[in-house]
Amino acid sequence: MSQVARTMFGRRVRAFTLIELLVVISIIAMLIAILLPALQKAKMASQSVQCLSNQRQMGLFFQTYAGDYKGVLPPSEWRLPSATGWDAWKYNGWNGIMISKGYIPAFPSGSWYVNTLTDYGHFLFCPTASPHNEDSYHADYSMSLCLGATSFNGTTPYTWAGIVSDWVRLENYPSKPYFGDTTGAPSWSHYAAFSTVRWRHMSDAANFLYGDGHAKPVLFRDWNPTFLYEYLVVP
């Protein structure tokens, strides 16, 4: 096999042969194949941690709101029939209520709704969600229909499919998840939660915020009718 040699600084330097070069490329390719899954897994874990941080932050804002309203959470949905324009959006979901009343900051663009791509950096959006704002309610998270009551007239709670939502005190349900990874619709209930939950983290987990302020992932394999009834619906 021929070798190519050249003179560099008075020394004869042997160049790589084609086979040697192919061997080096193969080793690099193998290293990349080994490292990429690990790097991807680390990225997913980091995004899940950020999502949990987002939810804990929201928990603090919810507690602040509850402190001003006799311990009661904001409505998951509050639809005023007479509302139009900005008001129709502001009072359509918990996020509009919280932003318009100053409990959480507006989006980076300064708006009350998603206006630019930079707005997806707001903590109302999960870093793992794809796409963001799936249900066009300007969030990647939802509230429980029963812990955050729904009202279509701005006064009385609304009964949906036999489920009676009501104004409840957050402190009475420390072990109940009331906020979590979903399509971003304002609220969920036990009969619809499975279809609205998004298993964004580590391929089989969704994060949820609980009444006592902690947030944790729930695995897909642990999701069953008993879990739905026991944890997602106020008894």
Per-residue pLDDT tens for 28-87? 888 888 777 777 777 888 889 999 999 999 999 999 999 998 888 888 877 666 666 655
22 domain residue, yes or no: no
172 domain residue, yes or no: yes
Residue 72 β-bridge partners: 169
Contact yes or no for 157/166 (Cβ under 8 A): yes
47 domain residue, yes or no: no
Name the H helices within the chain.
Answer: 18-68, 85-90, 94-100, 193-196, 225-232
Query: pLDDT class for 160, splitting at 50, 70, 90?
Result: low
Q: How far is CA 233 from CA 177, 196, 230, in A?
A: 9, 15, 6
Contact yes or no for 90/97 (Cβ under 8 A): yes
Q: Work out how many domains the chain is built from and give that number.
A: 1
99 domain residue, yes or no: yes
19 domain residue, yes or no: no
Give the β-pairing of 187-188 and 141-144.
parallel
Q: Tell me what pLDDT residue 81 has.
A: 65
Report the SS3 class of residue 78.
strand
Q: How is residue 127 written in tokens?
A: 């870093």
Contact yes or no for 77/92 (Cβ under 8 A): yes
Contacts of 186 (CB under 8 A, 6+ apart): 76, 77, 92, 93, 94, 95, 137, 142, 143, 150
Structural domain range at position 138: 60-232
126 domain residue, yes or no: yes
- pLDDT tens for each residue of 172-210: 888 888 899 988 888 776 555 677 888 888 878 999 999
152 domain residue, yes or no: yes
Q: Tell me what pLDDT residue 232 has.
A: 45
Cis peptide upstream of residue 127 (ω within 30 degrees of 0): no
182 domain residue, yes or no: yes
DSSP character for 68? H
Q: Tell me what pLDDT residue 100 has.
A: 82
The closest of 99, 86, 74 to 154, measured between CA atoms, is 74
Instruction: Categorise residue 217: left if φ over 0, alpha if ψ from -120 to 50, beta otherwise.
Output: beta
